[in-house]
Amino acid sequence: MTRDVVIAQERIRQDYTRQLLDVRLQVSQLASSQIERRRTVQQNKMANANERAQLGRALAELESRIERARSAISTDVIVGIDGRIAALNVREGSDVRVGDTLAALGDPDATFTIGLQAPSKTMGLLAIGQRVVLKYDAFPYKTFGIKHGRIMAIGRQPMSIPKEDDPGAMLDVSLAKAGPRPPPQSKYLIEVEPEDRTIEAYGAERPILVGSTLSADVVVERRRLIDWVLDPIFAMRGRT
């Protein structure tokens, strides 16, 4: 083997050695990069877990505050008699004010009674025993006719006292369109005993359900037509 051949082989060996070192260096760098990525992922997982734990604690604290606030403002309404709920005027979460009617409670075995809400302007001529014309919403009176009853009791305390800004205090929508808004009026409870608990519809007697809505007209008095004509004249004479 000549000297030139030995030198050439030595150079080849050195080249292979350098290439091997380069490959080992790249492998080491890849391993370090992989370890760094794993460390970053682990740190992110720990950070996310800590953030979720903090959010969970904050949510639990907020729920606790809400529950304490509910306990602080909740009020139990207790009635003095046993009965069955006939009508419910509020839902869960509704705002209520002093004087609002929350529900109607009745005795299933008691006399069937209709509760009317009369505005204060109509209270002057009402009296116990007056006849009342009943028009049930479930049975339109133009098709099924009207029913009658008599006033049993007249409330002396208002059921509700509306505020000036209460949109429900308007009694006549036509007046609102025509001119200034009239002042709000209180409403009083009028108890009426109906003559019938059923109404004839298509050949069958159908019961009036508890909680049914209706409108009513009170018959204040019956007079001859000539009396209505002469009444203003008599009133004028009485003032002179």
Residue 82, token pair as written in the block? 């046993």
Using an 8 Å Cβ cutoff, are 186 and 160 in contact? yes
Residue 51, token pair as written in the block? 């953030």
Same domain, 210 and 123: yes
Q: What SS3 class is residue 190?
A: strand
Same domain, 67 and 135: no
Same domain, 130 and 70: no
Q: Which residues pair with residue 201 across a beta bridge?
A: 204
Same domain, 35 and 145: no
Same domain, 29 and 139: no
Question: What contacts 75, CB < 8 A, 6 or more positions away?
Answer: none
- Alpha-carbon distance of 36 to 53, in angstroms, equals 26
Place of tokens 């009658």: 148
Residue 145 included in any domain:
yes
Neighbours of 169 (CB within 10 A): 19
- Alpha-carbon distance of 189 to 121, in angstroms, equals 13
The number of domains in the chain is 2
Same domain, 139 and 217: yes
Q: Which of 25-34, 101-110, 207-216, 228-237 has the lowest mean pLDDT?
A: 228-237
Same domain, 58 and 123: no
Same domain, 53 and 159: no
Residue 87 included in any domain:
no
Q: Which residues pair with residue 218 across a beta bridge?
A: 132
Q: Which domain holds residue 69?
A: 1-74
The mean pLDDT value of the chain amounts to 78
For residues 56-63, average pLDDT: 90
Residue 109 included in any domain:
no
CATH of the domain at 201: 2.40.30
Residue 54 included in any domain:
yes
- Could you write out the DSSP letters of every residue in 55-66? HHHHHHHHHHHH
Q: Which of 14-18, 19-23, 175-179 has the lowest mean pLDDT?
A: 175-179
- Alpha-carbon distance of 240 to 237, in angstroms, equals 5
C-alpha distance across the termini of the chain, in Å: 158
Same domain, 22 and 126: no
Residue 81 included in any domain:
no
Q: What SS3 class is residue 164?
A: coil
Q: Which of 9-13, 67-71, 225-229 has the lowest mean pLDDT?
A: 225-229
